[in-house]
Structure 1
Amino acid sequence: MNNSAAASSTTRDFGVRDFYLGRQPILDGDNALYAYELLFRNSNEGGAQFNTGLSATAAVIAHAGQLGLDRAIGDAQAFLNVDADVLMSDIFLFLPREKVVLELVESFDATDLLLERMAQLKEHGFRFALNGVSAVTANVERLLPLIDFVKFDMRQVMQVSTAKVVARFRSENKKLMAEKVETRAEYERVRAFGFDYFQGYYFAKPAVISGRKLTPSQLAVMELMKLVTSDADNLEIERAVKRDVTLALNLLRLVNTPAIGLRHKIDSVSQALMVLGRRQLERWLQILLYADPQQRSHSASPLLMLATTRGKLLELLAKRLRPAQRNVADIAFTVGIMSLMDALFGLPMDEILEQIPVIDEVKDALVYRSGFFGELLKLAESIEQMDGDDLVVPTLKELAISSDELVEFEVTAFSWSDSVARYAV
């Protein structure tokens, strides 16, 4: 059987409908988004498990070919786990080589045949990462000339034995990555250690700083949100927006994103109020909080990307589960987008909710992860982490949502978030 047939066969065996997708951000030293590692879990009965090897990768690439990999990663790079069987197949014909890094584990057996194949793929523009390195073995030495990135588990990084290994890779000008970085303290330690890239959700954890204040632009957005959710008339809201020229320009740019799906351009604040309505306007103001122009870098904020992805995913799930209730999707979006405001502002969530009035269902979801919207939020967070206790499969079963539907919702949310971020930064 040739390689193409093998890939096709294993794709059928695995079933492109039997997995769901995790997308873990990889940030650079400026905390800007650089890449995503795409992770895939089998969602069959009996529990979700990570899948590697030809069957999983072939199924994933087949599905990505249908949906478009760019919809899942946007402008970022993509790290994909592969093994020897995958490397020897021809499924790379379906991947954008300039955006894909192929990730190997340390135990990968560097035979002459595989090294030759890696060299061929590298000539075609693919890059390689080596993960789980604990020592510079003879096998690692053979791989080293073809490797661009070396990834270490955060729990290994501070060990004395690892320091020598890190120094060796740094002397070879390899890019160093730390994964499972879950706190800001861990991030600061590995950054001081000389690492270039960081994978984990440290950026989404609130760092409460005493006396921390909102920026002027964030305060302006917060005041406008209060007007929008109150009984203030449209003229008062319009005047408030026009008093802050930067806010007005940013708002108009954002509501004209293709993600909103309007046929005609919105040219004024009054038109935005008339066309969008207050509920939609509140949504875009929430997004603007994450796109503070005073904190912009060369790339989209990972917090903005994560918050907008959560918001859209929760909206799609709520619309699917309660189609007859008109407001449920908007409430779900609000829960998703607000769920990271403690990390954004560096304040406890209950203090934030004292400044932004919300209904009890939203408060219960944000503070206690309870109720219908709290369950959806826990599902989204579990999908993101792809680690530890898995809630996804039992929750999907309870909600009567197939993994195929979930993947469609995920990719739609990824694509929507990417479209919004292009206009928000």
Structure 2
Amino acid sequence: MPLMGEFYITKIPVLDQHQKIYAYYLTVMNQEDKPASVNDLADILVNVNFEKLAGNYPVFLKIEPEVLKHDILDYIPEEKIVFLVSPENLSEEDLLLIKELKNLGFKFAFEYGSDFEKIESYADFIFAKSENLDSKVYLLKDRTVVTDIYSQEEYQKLMTEGFRYFKGDFIFRPSTIVEKKIDPSKLAVMELFTKVRESFNPPEIEELIKRNPDLSISLLKYVNSAAFSFRNKITSIRHAISILGQRNLLQWLLLFLYRAGDTEPYAETLLEVSAERGKTMEILAQQIKLPDELAEKAFLVGMLSMVDKLLGMPKEKLIKELNLDEEIEKAIIDKEGVLGALLNIVEKTEEGKVGEISDTIKQLGLHLNDVMSAQLKAFAWFEDVNLV
């Protein structure tokens, strides 16, 4: 069923004090950045499986208060959703309704501000901007989500002060890369990636994968996951390689590269965001009828767009190490060409800045709903991928 209306979704990780994903902050917004209305939420419920959207994580959903008075709540999975509401203009009737909904199992988060006292007793979570952290917030830091964090230094400082939940684009912002020696396991994956891309020789690839038990197990889980619909289960490395083919093997290797770095800061977050970027770009590339080779490159561009943070290697050097062509390099480094345009679209959509790329979307012959539909498919695909 096609999506209705001109709105889009942003799904931003909320991290805990261990630099792991705790939840997702989801907003259904138009270009004026309004919270989700009843109509917006109805469209989402028709088109989105929350389990596919966020897996086992809870979701913070920013809504208009009118949603709380509507029978659409009968279709909301209360164990999955935490409603985020602005306390401004909430009436006594609204507060009584919130109390009733809490008794039914719904959870609530409120934006911190001058009207906070009247909703404090109802708040499971508090959303407070990093610039507004006063003594009152410090007393409630065990249930405060600190937002608008723009640097890793600020994130580290807040963690040492005892805050537990954090939201901001500090993870994705460009940072100075201090080169470090690449872990041998990651280096092996990079070398295998290059070999698969340059000359797809299944017997040789099978031998290389078998030398690494972690790779072998991951490959079998990947090919047997719900992301694929093969009639028969795959039980051998050789069968997996032959049935996946070069393109899917390259995708798996990049996913595994992130998974192999799960001891690095934000690795889990980088894996999910990068994978969903790549898949969204691949779907959009197919929609605008780019050749298969460019659709494959679109996935690689999205996946590689943040791998420099994982490996501690400048993007230019990484591209050289993986022997990637100029078209991919220009897309990642300079946002040039059609692949660069697609990367810019997914990045700006993640940031909630669709207005900045509306012209680009039109120039590619796409609509905003095409982008959102591709994102939703990418979210579902990632939840189906088994990389444990």
Name the TM-score class by shorter chain: over 0.9
Verify the 8 A CA contact 1:83 1:108 in the aligned structure 2: no
1:282–1:120 distance in 2 versus 1, CA, 3 Å? same
Alignment partners' CA distance in 2, 1:401 and 1:259: 26
CA positional deviation for 1:342: 1.1
Verify the 8 A CA contact 1:103 1:128 in the aligned structure 2: yes
2:107 aligned with 1:127, yes or no?
Answer: yes
2:170 to 191, 197, 202: 202
2:86 to 105, 119, 122: 105
CA positional deviation for 1:294: 5.6
Name structure 1 gaps, 5 residues minimum. 1-14, 43-47
Q: Which residue of the partner structure matches residue 8 of structure 2?
A: 20
Verify the 8 A CA contact 1:207 1:346 in the aligned structure 2: no
Secondary structure at the residue paired with 1:271?
helix
TM-score between the two structures when normalised by the length of structure 1: 0.85
Aligned AA (1:311): G
Cα offsets for 1:198-254 (capped at 9, x unmatched): 112222345555352222321221121122123373322221111111221112212
Alignment partners' CA distance in 1, 2:166 and 2:11: 14
2:256 aligned with 1:288, yes or no?
Answer: yes
Alignment partners' CA distance in 1, 2:313 and 2:52: 33
Q: Which residue of the partner structure matches residue 286 of structure 2?
A: 319
1:345–1:390 distance in 2 versus 1, CA, 3 Å? farther
Q: Which residue of the partner structure matches residue 34 of structure 2?
A: 51
Q: Which residue of the partner structure matches residue 45 of structure 1?
A: none
2:373 aligned with 1:408, yes or no?
Answer: yes
Cα offsets for 1:349-393 (capped at 9, x unmatched): 001112111111101001111111000000000000014x83232
Alignment partners' CA distance in 2, 1:130 and 1:300: 29
Secondary structure at the residue paired with 1:97?
coil
Alignment partners' CA distance in 2, 1:225 and 1:383: 29
CA positional deviation for 1:397: 2.1
2:145 aligned with 1:180, yes or no?
Answer: no
Verify the 8 A CA contact 1:152 1:178 in the aligned structure 2: yes
Q: Which residue of the partner structure matches residue 126 of structure 2?
A: 150
2:226 to 258, 267, 273: 258
2:58 aligned with 1:77, yes or no?
Answer: yes
Alignment partners' CA distance in 2, 1:405 and 1:187: 34
Aligned AA (1:29): Q
Name structure 2 gaps, 5 residues minimum. none
- Out of 85-94 and 336-345, give the one that drifted further: 85-94
Secondary structure at the residue paired with 1:151?
strand
1:261–1:327 distance in 2 versus 1, CA, 3 Å? farther
CA positional deviation for 1:142: 2.4
Q: Which residue of the partner structure matches residue 64 of structure 1?
A: 44
Verify the 8 A CA contact 2:148 2:167 in the aligned structure 1: yes
Cα root mean square deviation, aligned: 2.2
Secondary structure at the residue paired with 1:34?
strand
2:319 to 353, 371, 375: 353
How many residue pairs get matched?
385
TM-score between the two structures when normalised by the length of structure 2: 0.92
Aligned identity (percent) is 29
Aligned AA (2:127): K
